[in-house]
Amino acid sequence: MFAWHGKILRVNLSSKTIKVEMVDEEFAAKYLGGRGWAIKYLLNEMDPTTDPFSPENMMIFATGPLTATVAPTGNRYMVVTKSPLTGALTDSNSGGFFPTEMKRTGFDMFIFEGKAETPVYLWVNDDHVELRPANHLWGKIVPETEDLLLSETDPKARVACIGPGGENQVLFASIMNDKHRAAGRSGVGAVMGSKNLKAVVVRGSQKVDVAHPEELEAYCKAMSKKVGDVMKAGGAMRVYGTSYVPPITNEMGILPTRNFQSGRFEGIAGITGDVINEKYLKKPKPCFRCPIACGRETKVDDPKYAGEGEGPEYETIAAYGSGCGIDNMAAIIKANYLCNEYGLDTISAGMTIACAMEMSEKGIIPKDRIGLDLKFGDPDAIITLTHQIANMSGFGKELAQGSFRLANSYGHPELAVTAKKQEFPGYDPRGSKGMGLLYATSNKGASHMAGDLAYSEVFGVPRKIDSLSLENKPELVKRFEDAFAIIDSTGLCVFLSVRYMFEDKVELWPTPLSEIMRLSTGYPFTQQSLLDAGDRIFNLERLFLLKAGFTIEDDTLPHRMLYEPLPEGPGKGHVVELDQMLPRFYELRGWSQDGIPTNDKLKSLAIAEYQLK
Amino acid sequence: MQIYIKLLANYRSNLPDGANGDQISIVVPEGISSEKILEMFSLPPIPESVVLINGRTIIPGEPINEGDVICAFSAMAGG
């Protein structure tokens, strides 16, 4: 095979057994790789009703066929497991350099089963695979963990690890790689912690062979040059990273503000990318083989919030900034550093604190319970509470359960802004209706990365559409969901793929992507076969959710989105008319109006073995 | 008539010196088009540029009125 190794490492942490398994090209191509391979294994091998913290939950690290190839941004992997935050499937994506090194060990995928008796880490050095004790690492933050691991394995190895957040099973703990990159969402770090798995360290020398190396190199070089030229001409993602976004979403009135009480933030001037560039940016940073370089190396000298690291991303600025009513960028960046060091999802952490701020201001949670007079706009509070969440101390113990459980425990479920119990990302769907349908139908709860049609509703890619209209949104949500399932399975980064791997049509037609997949793997992929694969993967994930007990009752949005109109901005007076979009979405998906894939649909996707009797 | 122009992210540098943050007010003739405004600031046309009118997606040919806020940013952000 080309691009794929066709080799999987299966690690049973309970019995400490390690096995190598092979997959054939038919399987490889049908499920693409990454997210697609992983869901097939989860669906076939585990009971979806399993407790996410039980040893029976499987956790999979999955690269794609394009990871570690010459394809621009071929540097990604997915962590796929059952989420303790949502109870649904999750697939969390990360880049940097770990995924490339992992692919170079000669394995496409690592499967983790069971639970180690005491903390361990996995060391994979090409064919040499070893579970090593990690007691000496347990309790250490991410940067320290990585430094120690590199000193006892190989200084050129790459590390994915958890910090105290995952060890303490904070429901939104992340898995960090290369110190500052995050498989952030849905508590994948907590699952890893529940298995007593502190880290995975990889060092590989296996080249990834491709089917048509000269043609592929020429094609990819041309694409990289095109993107690089845009960047050199002052492309916003090179100049600002994702921090160019806050003024745009604020102008559109969809920037989460004070727990989504509004979509416009009066403190916007304090949280723009220009503020980062003027005061905190050291330099842009690319992942492996990336011509964009959206990463930010930053430093804060203000002694109150001093630190150094990478980020913040837009989502962090929305969650810890406007979401909490905070316009102090130094404090936001410090909170970001803490999340990276502890291994926490910045979105869920920030928005859970925001929910607590609203409940505190409304007198729902007493001051002595929180330990401080918690209000929106308090930059010190976000620092204090982030420490507490990671260490499960004080009020942090309650925050560590996420905003859905927090709000419900105080009898105010309407104050949690979540879908399938996961906190919303930085686009208020009352002003961006397609995003509302996305959050409600995503297989991993509220996630913009499940099919980010903010690309169209906000950023004009492939073209700008009216974010306040419902027209064509079910069609677009389905198309974006399928496209992202493809991208997540190939090992590419969304940031390049959405703009350059699809033809410039509203339909997101994957001509360049199918060409790169064909040249890499040698398999005769077509645009349609790729879209079918994306649809197939999305349906398999849906089946997992249905077997886990999810129903159409869960394809919904929180109270604030359905019943509380935006108070200001272009979307003033708007709510999300989900009931006007869902039926058409189910129809397009080939599902019954109960949200269940029909047998005909499953047969059309060549997964008839999952037909419901 | 007086309107407001907001140029965001890397488009900010196309504002004249002395602009207040990312916004200025200008006086323009009645009936001016968004295309003409982009030209005035040496910015690429739609769809390379995204144009909002009072925070909403502008409809081609939509009239611009006194007091409107016209916001533009690049669709070619790169990622």
Determine contact: B73 vs chain A, CB below 8 A: yes
**Biggest alpha carbon distance in chain B?**
36
Total number of domains constituting chain A: 3
Q: Which two tokens stand for residue B26?
A: 């200008």
Asked which of A394, A423, A452 is the last residue of a domain, the reply is A423
B26 in a domain, yes or no?
yes
Whether residue A246 sits in one domain with residue A197: no
| Shortest CA gap A569–chain B (Å) | 7
Determine contact: B22 vs chain A, CB below 8 A: yes
Q: How confident is the model at residue A503 (pLDDT cuts 50, 70, 90)?
A: confident
Q: Domain limits at B48?
A: 2-74
A64 in a domain, yes or no?
yes
A82 in a domain, yes or no?
yes
A208 in a domain, yes or no?
no
**Rounded CA Rg of chain A:** 22
Query: If you ran DSSP here, which 8-state letter would residue A374 be given?
Result: -
Amino acid at A40: K
Q: What is the pLDDT of residue A512?
A: 94
Question: In this prediction, what percent of chain A has a pLDDT beyond 70?
Answer: 99
Model-level pTM greater than 0.80? yes
Question: Is the predicted pLDDT of residue A505 greater than 70, yes or no?
Answer: no
Taking only the tens place, the pLDDT of each residue in A527-563 is 999 999 999 999 999 999 999 999 999 999 999 999 9
Closest B-chain CA to A255 = B55
CATH number at residue B67: 3.10.20.30
Taking only the tens place, the pLDDT of each residue in A287-311 is 999 999 999 999 999 999 999 999 9
Query: If you ran DSSP here, which 8-state letter would residue A319 be given?
Result: I
Asked which of A374, A390, A423 is the last residue of a domain, the reply is A423
Cα–Cα distances (Å) from A357 to A173, A225, A286, A608, B49, in that order, read 21, 47, 36, 49, 38
For residues A348-361, average pLDDT: 98
Whether residue A409 sits in one domain with residue A312: yes
Q: What is the mean pLDDT of chain A?
A: 96
ipTM of the complex: 0.95
Contact residues, chain A, for B71 at CB < 8 Å: 251
Q: What is the pLDDT of residue A506?
A: 59
Question: Is the predicted pLDDT of residue A126 greater than 80, yes or no?
Answer: yes
| Torsion region of A114: left, alpha or beta (phi above 0 gives left; psi -120 to 50 gives alpha) | left
| Shortest CA gap B9–chain A (Å) | 5
Q: What is the pLDDT of residue A454?
A: 93
Are B46 and A235 inside 8 Å of each other by CB? no
CATH number at residue A568: 1.10.599.10
Determine contact: B40 vs chain A, CB below 8 A: no
Are B8 and A230 inside 8 Å of each other by CB? no
Whether residue A455 sits in one domain with residue A417: no
Asked which of A202, A223, A246 is the last residue of a domain, the reply is A202
Q: What is the pLDDT of residue A508?
A: 86
Q: What is the pLDDT of residue A504?
A: 67
Whether residue A404 sits in one domain with residue A285: yes
Of A244, A247, A467, which has the smallest distance from its Cβ to B77's Cβ? A244
Give the integer Cα–Cα distance in Å for A524 and A347: 39
Closest Cα to residue A602, out of A557, A558, A537? A537
Whether residue A403 sits in one domain with residue A296: yes
Taking only the tens place, the pLDDT of each residue in A310-347 is 999 999 999 999 999 999 999 999 999 999 999 999 99
A541 in a domain, yes or no?
yes
Of A237, A247, A248, which has the smallest distance from its Cβ to B78's Cβ? A237
Whether residue A482 sits in one domain with residue A343: no
Find tokens 């316009």 and name the residue: A327
Neighbours of A607 (CB within 10 A): 20
Q: What is the pLDDT of residue A246?
A: 96
Closest B-chain CA to A231 = B78
For residues A174-203, average pLDDT: 98
Q: Which two tokens stand for residue A118?
A: 């005491």
Q: Domain limits at A181?
A: 7-202
Of B50, B69, B76, which has the smallest distance from its Cβ to A464's Cβ? B50
Instruction: Give the residue ranges of DSSP H helices in A123-198.
Output: 142-152, 164-167, 188-194
Question: In this prediction, what percent of chain A has a pLDDT beyond 90?
Answer: 95
B79 in a domain, yes or no?
no
- Residue spans of chain B under pLDDT 50: none
Total number of domains constituting chain B: 1
Taking only the tens place, the pLDDT of each residue in A4-22 is 999 999 999 999 999 999 9
Q: What is the DSSP string of A326-370?
A: ---HHHHHHHHHHHHHHTB-HHHHHHHHHHHHHHHHTTSS-HHHH
Are B78 and A499 inside 8 Å of each other by CB? yes
Q: What is the pLDDT of residue A11?
A: 98
Find tokens 């090209």 and name the residue: A25
Whether residue A536 sits in one domain with residue A416: no
A214 in a domain, yes or no?
no
Are B9 and A236 inside 8 Å of each other by CB? yes
Whether residue A437 sits in one domain with residue A378: no
Closest A-chain CA to B6 = A251
A258 in a domain, yes or no?
yes
Strand-strand pairing, B69-74 and B2-7 = parallel
For an interface test with B, the pick among A227, A278, A464 (most B C-beta atoms closer than 10 Å) comes out as A464
CATH number at residue A280: 1.10.569.10
Whether residue A466 sits in one domain with residue A328: no
Cα-based angle A505, A453, A238 (whole degrees, multiple of 5): 85
Whether residue A390 sits in one domain with residue A510: no
Q: What is the pLDDT of residue A232?
A: 86
Q: Which two tokens stand for residue A262?
A: 């509004």
Of A237, A269, A569, which has the smallest distance from its Cβ to B77's Cβ? A237
Taking only the tens place, the pLDDT of each residue in A153-178 is 999 999 999 999 999 999 999 999 99
Closest B-chain CA to A244 = B9
For residues A514-535, average pLDDT: 97
CATH number at residue A76: 3.60.9.10
Contact residues, chain B, for A327 at CB < 8 Å: none
Cβ–Cβ under 8 Å, residues A206 and A70: no
Whether residue A438 sits in one domain with residue A383: no
CA terminus-to-terminus distance, chain A:
36
Q: Which two tokens stand for residue A585?
A: 């979405």
A146 in a domain, yes or no?
yes
Q: Which two tokens stand for residue A90?
A: 């999750």
Q: Give the CB-side neighbour count of residue A584, counting CA atoms within 13 A.
A: 16
Cα–Cα distances (Å) from B23 to A469, B4, B5, B49, in that order, read 27, 7, 6, 17
Taking only the tens place, the pLDDT of each residue in A34-53 is 999 999 999 999 999 999 99
Cβ–Cβ under 8 Å, residues A296 and A285: yes
Are B54 and A273 inside 8 Å of each other by CB? no
A341 in a domain, yes or no?
yes
Whether residue A496 sits in one domain with residue A368: no
